Structure 1
Amino acid sequence: MSPRWENTASVAIPERGIITYALSSNRQNILAGAAHAAVFNTWRRFAGQVLFWAPPLVAAWYAMEWANKR
């Protein structure tokens, strides 16, 4: 009996030229580089946002100093 055309997609045909690698989950270091990445990611995010909140903070500081002296 020959296979019907509808069922040919379910037949597992080995593909050529595709290479996969796997590592067991109990052999992986899940925190590899986490501290290093956290430091540099924090600095990158800080540097990208500091110009949005620092000038108003400095202006408010000087306004409060001026108001207290006055």
Structure 2
Amino acid sequence: MNAGEEIKKIALARAKLMPENLNMAIGGERLNKEALIKHIEQEDEIGQTIMRVDLEYLKDLASSSIY
């Protein structure tokens, strides 16, 4: 499994743990939990943005930039 697949796997796991009533907006599009997971699975522009944000969050967490 390459790094991109690992990031996708992590992003999907994090999304699946989110509450069912989740609502957010990315790129001007309102997303619920189901749509969020769909975009990650499809690896479209929104899905890639979500994965990039998750990766940056994990990097910051690992470097103790956030806690």
TM-score (norm 2): 0.29
- Quick one: higher RCO (CA 8 Å, sep 6+), 1 or 2? 2
Q: Greater share of strand residues, 1 or 2?
A: 2
TM-score, scaled relative to structure 1? 0.28
